[in-house]
Structure formats: structure tokens, C-alpha cells
Amino acid sequence: MNLLEKAREYETKHSKEIDKNERPVFHLTAACGWLNDPNGFSYYNGKYHLFYQYNPYSTHWDDMHWGHWTSDDLIHWNYEKAAMAPDEDYETGCFSGSAITDKDGRHLLIYTAHNEPLHRDADLREETQCLAFGDGENYRKYEKNPVVTFKEMPEGAYKGDFRDPKIWFEDGKYYFVAAARLKNGLGGILCYESEDALNWKYTDTILTNEGRWGQMWECPDLFKLDGHEVLSISVMNMKRIDESYRNGNCVLAFVDRSETAQPLDVGFDYYAPQSMQDKDGRRIVIGWMQTPESSGSVPDEMKWFGQMSFPRELSIRNGRIYQEPIREIESLYTSTVVKEVNAPKAERIDGISGRTLDMTVEGRGTDFFEMKFVLKDDIFVKLSYDKKSEELILDRINSGRSASICDYRRVKIGSYGDFKLRMLLDRYSFEIFINDGEHVLSGTLYETPQDADGIEFSSDGELKITLNKIG
Ligand code: FRU
């Protein structure tokens, strides 16, 4: 049995041992074992495909495979058989990459073959870019792999850090961007082009790190959005600047190559997002709801670890990227409760509770707002907004976590007349969208008991709460 057959046999058996009540309701998790980055997000042959960095054998990162889902609507996903295992002599892991339909109608995967023959010996480590062709179910690695090696990197760049190609097709040519460690030891984004997707040529370095944005970069994405160009990167070892970036890893986006970076998520757990254009032309992004920093604290009893964010639709308003859950989420609603209330101090509101929901809270005349959720006794997560200080504070200190890597964030968001918040809550995670997705805060809740489902509000204004239950 080869490595891929072994993985397929293993996941078929062990995924059945995970009860659906032990998983989130509308967020994706690995068939079994470990999941990190979304890969190969694409529309091929009438279906959406999403792959993932995958170790079926344990809830910890190791020997990367590609897991695979398909979907008709970006909401309901089917587990497909694992797509790739690290089974060639040029790889010990199939690292992140992307997918496209090639000129011959094949589903083309481009990924990083990570090769670390003597475990953790940095000098021997090499990362190259490789291809696999498929029909949406089975994938065959290209016999002339690798198609891009360090020989096609700029002078002085490190062969051990060259990864995560994101491919696109434009005006008759293929292109990809990939992250690399350049001769200054820091991250950079390299661009390649090809006529046939087999023979690639380095063209330029579109962004370099001069020490301002962390160290190595990963998982670049480059796309057009509402007449602008967006580059997003995942940043390793980001230094805290006052209260900003204090969770160590972050995703930054640059619009039209501006010098100003926009963090795409100001919560705790969001990294390595990948976007695609859907069949209606929307730009949809999915991220890994975790970061490398926080991924070590896996509760022993978990049979899976790692979740994808809910798909978000992107748009640009006034030069800023907005993110909102895709509207198809409405097809998951099972009931809706609407309440208009005043909640001067720590009020629980009849009918407003739960752990799987999509809830919007609109505050009018609000100078101060505070919400506790996943609340039970002394367990809760708290989000507050104070108009005077213009700060949003997310506090996970009391969420039941045994290991606290980062448990609060303070973010200056400006002063709003009306304050609007939307929260997706799904057993093991939350995603909070402020003012129609101008700011987003995501976080995991692995250790918060599932019966902690209370929600409590305090505000000096009037609140309109619309709670859509899911599942
Ligand atoms: C980001 C990342 C990628 C790499 C993959 C390995 O989380 O480190 O750069 O391709 O994960 O699993």
C-alpha cells in the first residue's frame, strides 16, 4: 500500500469515529487528525474544491498531506479522499499551494514540496514548487517535478524557505506568487510567469520585508478587488507595537501596493487565508482559524484539531477591505428571534442564547457596549467597545483555557455614531464582524464547556438584537 492509500484507508476508518456533535456545525474540520492552511480553493468542473494541510494520523502537525472537500454552494461540504501524500523522493511534506483549471481542462494543483531529509537540519532543507494534475478526485504528481527550484530564486535567497505558490491565469499566461526568505534573512514575495504552467520564469519581487513586518512571510495571495489590487501575506514572529499585533502572527493586506498594512483579523486565531473568485464573480476568502503560535495547545480528548473560518466575501470601501460572511449562511438558519431592548447593566435577554448562531446587534446612541458570550458561571468571553477611547477590547481570559498564549486584544477602531456587531458562534469558535466587516475578530474556544451558552449585554444605548439559530 502506498502512502496515499494508507492515508485514505486511515481517514475512512477514523473519521467515522467522530460523532457530528463533536464537530462544529458550519465550520470545516479535518476528516480526522490535524488541519492547518486552506489550499487549492477553486471552482472546477461545476464544483467548489477546497484542500487543506492535513496530518490524518494525529492532532499535531507532521508529514503534511492534502485533505480535500467539495461543495456545490460553499456551505455544505463533502469529505473527499485525501488528495496527496508526501510520497516522492523530493518531499517529506506536501506544503501549501493553490489550484486552477489548466488550458487542457485539468484541475492543476501547484504546491510546495518541503524536503527535510534529516529531520530539522536547516542546511539540508529545501522547498521547491511542484505540480499535480487531477480530475477533481484523483491527482497525479507531474513526472518532471519540481518545476521551480532555488535556481529560479533571486540571488542570496534561502532554498529552505520558498513556499505557498498562489496561481492565477491572466491574458493567456499563468502566474504565481510565493513567499521566500531573501538575502536579508527576512520575507519577500516573488512573482513567476509561464506560458504552459510547466516551465516557469522568475519575473520580480513585488514586496520585501525591511524588518517592519515580522520575519519570514507565508501564504501570499494577490488578486483584483473592486478595481484595486490586493496583496495579503501571513506574517511570522510579528512584534507587538503598543497593543497591536500582540498575538505574534497576523495576516496583513496591502491595497494598491500602499505602505499601510491592514490586519485582516484583529482577534486571536486567523492565518494563511486563501481566496478565489466564485462562479458569480465574488471574491471569497477562507482562513485557518488558528495561528502557528497558538496551535500547540491541543486538548488531549480532541480527535480533530484546526478549523477553517466561515467563507467571507471581500469588498473595498474607501480604500479599506471589508469582510462579511457569505449570504448563503441564511440557508442554515432554523429560527430567528428579534428583540429591541435597553440593557443598562449585565442583562440576559429572553430567547437570546446559544452556541451555534449568527447574531447581529445594532446599537443606537451607544457610547458604551459590552457583551459576554459563551457564558456560564465564571466562564465567558467578553467584547466591549467604548466610544470615548475608540477601543474595542476582546477578552478571552475567562474562557476556560488552560494555556493562554494570547488572551486579550485591544484595538483602536475609531468612534462610531451607531455601533453594529455580527457574531458567528459555532461550538468551538467565534467570528465577530464590526460595522459590516470593517474589522473582524476570530478566536477558538476548544476548552470552553459546550453548555456555556449564555449571552449578556450592558450598554447605555438602545440595542436591536437579531439572533438566527443554526443547526
Ligand atoms: C503556514 C504554513 C505554510 C506551509 C504550511 C505547512 O501555516 O507554515 O507556510 O506551507 O503551513 O503546513
d(CA 177, CA 219): 9
Per-residue pLDDT of the chain (471 residues; tens, 9 = 90+): 899 999 999 999 999 999 999 999 999 999 999 999 999 999 999 999 999 999 999 999 999 999 999 999 999 999 999 999 999 999 999 999 999 999 999 999 999 999 997 766 667 899 999 999 999 999 999 999 999 999 999 999 999 999 999 999 999 999 999 999 999 999 999 999 999 999 999 999 999 999 999 999 999 999 999 999 999 999 999 888 877 887 788 999 999 999 899 999 999 999 999 999 999 999 999 999 999 888 888 998 999 999 999 999 999 999 999 999 999 999 999 999 999 999 988 889 999 999 999 999 999 999 999 999 999 999 999 999 999 999 999 999 999 987 667 889 999 999 988 899 999 999 999 999 999 999 999 999 999 999 999 999 999 999 999 999 998
Which residues are catalytic, by number? 37
User: Would you list the DSSP string of 214-267?
Assistant: -SSEEEEEEEEETTEEEEEEEESSPPPBTTBTTTS-EEEEEETT-S--EES--S
d(CA 392, CA 120): 41
- Give the CA distances from residue 452 to residues 40, 219, 247, 370, 466, in Å, rounded to whole numbers and listed in that order: 36, 35, 25, 18, 20
Q: Are 63 and 4 a contacting pair, CB within 8 Å?
A: no
Rounded distance from Cα 250 to ligand 1 centre (Å): 13
State residue 295's pLDDT score: 87
Question: What's the grid cell of residue 43?
Answer: 471552482
Q: Which ligand 1 atom minimizes the distance to the CA of 271? A: 7
Sheet holding 228-235, edge to edge: 217-225, 228-235, 250-255, 262-263
Site to substitute for ligand 1 among 218, 269, 307, most atoms within 8 A of C-beta: 218
State residue 404's pLDDT score: 65
Q: Are 74 and 132 a contacting pair, CB within 8 Å?
A: no
Rounded distance from Cα 315 to ligand 1 centre (Å): 26
Residues framing ligand 1 (Cβ under 6 A): 36-37, 53, 64, 95-96, 112, 163-164, 218-219, 271-272, 292
SS3 state of residue 123 = helix
Query: Is the omega angle on the peptide bond into residue 146 within 30 degrees of 0, that is, cis?
Result: yes
Model pTM score: 0.97
Rounded distance from Cα 37 to ligand 1 centre (Å): 7
SS3 state of residue 11 = helix
Site to substitute for ligand 1 among 163, 215, 217, 294, most atoms within 8 A of C-beta: 163
| Backbone phi, psi, residue 421, to 5° | -135, 140
State residue 120's pLDDT score: 61
Rounded distance from Cα 61 to ligand 1 centre (Å): 10
